[in-house]
Every structure is written in structure tokens, then in C-alpha cells.
């Protein structure tokens, strides 16, 4: 049996798979590997995961996670997993971007992108990430992400760049005022999550011309500043994983058409694609 993990900072989806069939799914608290020590990660796995997988003969673990950005960080995660699943002969730890590439492209070359709370992209050669434009985070980059969409929305509301009825509707729905917004963004931890949470207003009001234009322009910026970097972006389909891509896929296709490229597969989560990828490799 194999165990696949799709890990974010908020939650981890674990899936036990046997010969292509899903045996069990488990959801535990998230781990950002760059923020936690090996001991902290091992403790969380011991408390939250191990009781759920007792009795299952797991021989391979494939972990894809937030913060897995260097060899040393990945080694910490690997040791934390091996300490709790000692019978596993194979433990691999990779970035969430490789998870997206494998889920979307399998063993074929392609362009794989993430559009969720943050954004990222790569050219995948069918085995490895061959090229990657640094996402730079929601302050310097992350174009098209939930955090950036939320940042643009709040800026337009506070500067009254949207029609009055939309500004009033937003403030009433979210029970926010200028002071609260400033404090949530500049003083409280994890402002990217707050920004992404308010971006839901855009999806709910996408038929409004001003809202549609804001989202469309952000997606166009994603294509210009990220996807257009890859040599094959006009000939290969551009594939996406993430909640933003999934719920805004019509506007995403409109932005792609403006850049003379084509949207391919769009997945809300990489797990189903990862199950196919690793089952085929068994």
C-alpha cells in the first residue's frame, strides 16, 4: 500500500491507496515544513495520523507539502515520517508544485500552475520541474491568487474605485471598516489568509462588470508575468490546480485566450491526479 499526502499550512489530506483503489482518506492539521522543526512535525504525525493508519501495511509514502523548498527541509520531513512509519521502505518528500505537475501532466511534458491562496507555475518535462518563475509571494507576486485578488478588492473598496453599491455591499456583508481592514492586513498574523477569505466576494459578484474586470486583469497578469516565460506556452495546454482556478475557470479561459494560449486540465485538488500517477508507477 502507498500513502500520499497533499499538505498545506491549514490541513493535510492523506490517502491510502492499494493497487489503484482508495482504501482510506484521513485529514489532519496542516504543516508548513519551513516553519516547524523535525520534532514538531514528528509529534503532529504521531498524534494525528498514526492512530488513523494503524493496521495498514504501508510500504511507500509520497509527501507533497507547503514549505518543502530545500533539501534540508525535505530531509526533516522525511525523518519525521520515518520515525512514525518505520515499515515504509520508500519515503519521498516533494514540493506542492511537483504535486501539481504530476497530478495535471502525469508523465507528459506540460505547463502546470497553482492558483489558490497563493500562485505558482512551472514547465514540467514529464519527470521533473525543468523551469520555474519564482512566485515571490502576495506582496511582490502571486498574481491571480486568492490573496492578491483579495488585496486588489480591498484596495478598490477603500479607495472607492468600485461602484458605490458594491463598496457598501462588501462592507455590510463582511462587517468590516477601514480600521479593521488595516489592522488585519498590517498587524495580525497570516494576512494572506485574510485577504484570500474576502476574495469570495468576487466570485459571488462576478457578473458585475467592475468585478469581472478586476479578476480578468489579475489573471492576465498571471499569464504575462509567469506563463509567458515558458517557451512552449502557446503550443502546450496550460493546466491548473487550486480553488481559485476551479471556481473562476470561465474567466481564466478568457484571460488565456487574450494571451493566445489554451487552458487544459483544471483540478480543485491534486489528490485524484496523484492517485493516478502513483498507481500507474506501482
Concatenating the DSSP letter of every residue in 35-83 gives TS-HHHHHHHIIIIIHHHHTT----EEEEEETT--SHHHHHHHHHHHHH
Whether 2-88 and 144-211 share one fold: the answer is no
**3-state SS assignment for residue 188:** coil
110-115 and 90-95 beta bridge pairing: unpaired
First to last CA, the chain: 10
CATH fit for domain 2-88, picks 3.40.630.20, 3.30.420.40, 3.30.360.10, 3.30.2020.30: 3.30.420.40
pTM: 0.85
144-211 under CATH 1.10.1370.30, yes or no? no
- Render pLDDT for 65-92 as a digit per residue (tens, 0 to 9): 877 888 999 999 999 999 999 999 999 9
What is the predicted pLDDT for the residue at 193?
85
- Name which CATH class applies to 108-139+217-267: alpha beta
Reduced to 3 states, what is the DSSP secondary structure of residue 90?
Answer: strand
What confidence tens digit (pLDDT) does each residue in 150-204 have? 999 999 999 999 999 999 999 999 999 899 999 999 998 888 889 999 999 999 9
Q: Where are the domains of the chain?
A: 2-88, 108-139+217-267, 144-211
Q: Mean pLDDT score of the chain, rounded to an integer? A: 92
Q: What are 4-52's pLDDT values in tens digits?
A: 999 877 789 999 999 889 999 999 988 888 878 999 999 999 999 999 9
Amino acid at each position: 500500500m502507498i500513502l500520499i499526502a497533499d499538505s498545506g499550512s491549514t490541513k493535510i489530506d492523506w490517502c491510502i491507496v492499494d493497487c489503484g483503489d482508495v482504501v482510506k482518506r484521513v485529514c489532519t492539521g496542516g504543516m508548513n515544513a519551513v516553519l516547524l522543526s523535525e520534532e514538531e512535525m514528528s509529534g503532529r504525525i504521531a498524534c494525528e495520523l498514526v492512530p488513523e493508519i494503524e493496521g495498514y501495511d504501508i510500504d511507500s509514502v509520497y509527501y507533497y507539502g507547503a514549505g518543502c523548498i530545500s533539501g534540508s527541509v525535505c530531509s526533516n520531513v522525511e525523518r519525521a515520517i520515518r520515525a512514525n512509519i518505520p515499515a515504509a521502505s520508500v519515503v519521498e518528500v516533494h514540493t506542492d508544485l511537483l504535486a501539481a505537475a504530476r497530478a495535471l501532466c502525469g508523465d507528459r511534458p506540460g505547463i502546470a500552475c497553482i492558483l489558490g491562496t497563493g500562485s505558482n507555475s512551472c514547465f514540467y518535462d514529464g519527470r521533473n520541474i525543468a523551469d520555474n518563475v519564482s512566485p515571490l509571494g502576495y506582496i511582490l507576486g502571486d498574481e491571480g491568487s486568492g490573496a492578491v485578488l483579495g488585496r486588489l478588492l480591498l484596495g478598490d473598496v477603500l479607495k472607492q474605485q468600485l461602484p458605490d453599491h458594491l463598496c457598501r455591499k462588501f462592507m455590510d456583508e463582511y462587517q468590516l471598516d477601514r480600521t479593521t481592514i488595516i489592522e488585519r492586513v498590517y498587524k495580525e498574523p497570516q494576512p494572506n489568509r485574510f485577504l484570500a477569505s474576502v476574495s469570495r466576494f468576487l466570485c459571488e459578484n462576478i457578473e458585475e462588470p467592475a468585478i469581472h474586470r478586476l479578476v480578468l486583469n489579475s489573471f492576465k497578469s498571471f499569464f504575462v508575468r509567469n506563463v509567458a516565460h515558458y517557451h512552449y506556452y502557446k503550443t502546450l495546454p496550460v493546466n491548473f490546480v487550486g480553488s481559485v482556478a476551479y471556481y473562476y475557470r470561465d474567466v481564466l479561459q478568457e484571460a488565456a485566450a487574450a494571451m493566445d494560449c489554451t487552458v487544459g486540465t483544471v483540478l480543485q485538488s491534486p489528490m485524484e491526479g496523484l492517485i493516478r500517477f502513483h498507481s500507474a508507477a506501482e
